[in-house]
């Protein structure tokens, strides 16, 4: 009987030692895993910081070499590519042309050219902005809200039956709409609009 008890005691002691060793092993392994995970998280954080500082230093201001147009009468300015042609004659306050052909004034644009014109309109002269856009530029194919110089503004794209695609941006300020019209290729318009600001 004593031999049986001793045998069971030995089995139980062996099992207990195995459980303790397994628990200690698991604790050790979990500690190493958590340590490696913290190490990995620290490495990821460092890589993200490095990546952010590299991309910030590599960010290039595409408008850095652009010219600035300033209108002191209405108090606004914006940048435009330095090789574009500017004229203060003709429609609107100012006209800008991409440099495909310098003699663009008064003729139809070809598909590789861009024309931007800035107008100033009294708000009371435009009862309904969408109707005005349709009358001026044709059927509206898309519209969206945009922010220009921290002012809620509107942008419309029209597709006339005959002629060029027109993008129109309207910035309301002091009972006026500052209308920026872009005919044909509007790739540069968003960048130009991002530099538009009021000076008074």
* CATH code of 77's domain: 3.40.1000.10
167 and 73 within one domain: yes
33 and 110 within one domain: no
Q: How far is CA 181 from CA 43, 128, 165, in A?
A: 50, 17, 11
Last residue of a domain, one of 59, 86, 102: 59
95 and 171 within one domain: yes
188 and 158 within one domain: yes
Model confidence pLDDT, tens digit, residues 96-143? 888 765 454 544 445 456 788 899 988 887 878 888 888 877 788 889
Give pLDDT, residue 128: 87
72 and 52 within one domain: no
93 and 25 within one domain: no
Give pLDDT, residue 107: 46
173 and 108 within one domain: yes
Last residue of a domain, one of 14, 41, 59: 59
pLDDT at 5 over 70: no
pTM over cut 0.75: no
189 and 137 within one domain: yes
Last residue of a domain, one of 26, 59, 92: 59
194 and 124 within one domain: yes
49 and 76 within one domain: no
| Counted domains in the chain | 2
- Provide the residue range defining the domain that includes 176: 67-198
* Ordered DSSP codes for 140-188: EEEEEEEEETTEEEEEEEE--SSS--EEEEEEEETTEEEEEEEEE--TT
Dihedral of CA 183/189/195/200: which sign? positive
């Amino acid at each position: 009987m004593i031999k049986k008890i001793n045998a069971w005691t030995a089995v139980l002691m062996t099992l207990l030692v195995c459980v303790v060793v397994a628990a200690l092993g698991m604790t050790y392994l979990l500690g190493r895993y958590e340590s490696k995970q913290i190490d990995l998280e620290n490495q990821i954080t460092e890589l993200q910081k490095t990546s952010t500082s590299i991309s910030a230093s590599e960010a290039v201001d595409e408008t850095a070499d652009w010219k600035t147009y300033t209108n002191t009468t209405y108090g606004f300015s914006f940048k435009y590519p330095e090789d574009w042609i500017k004229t203060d004659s003709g429609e609107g306050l100012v006209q800008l042309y991409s440099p495909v052909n310098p003699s663009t004034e008064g003729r139809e644009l070809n598909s590789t050219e861009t024309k931007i014109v800035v107008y100033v309109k009294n708000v009371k002269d435009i009862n309904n902005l969408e109707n005005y856009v349709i009358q001026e530029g044709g059927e509206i194919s898309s519209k969206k809200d945009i922010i220009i110089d921290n002012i809620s503004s509107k942008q419309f794209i029209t597709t006339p039956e005959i002629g060029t695609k027109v993008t129109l941006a309207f910035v309301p300020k002091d009972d006026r709409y500052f209308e920026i019209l872009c005919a044909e290729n509007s790739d540069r318009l968003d960048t130009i609009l991002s530099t538009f600001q009021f000076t008074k």
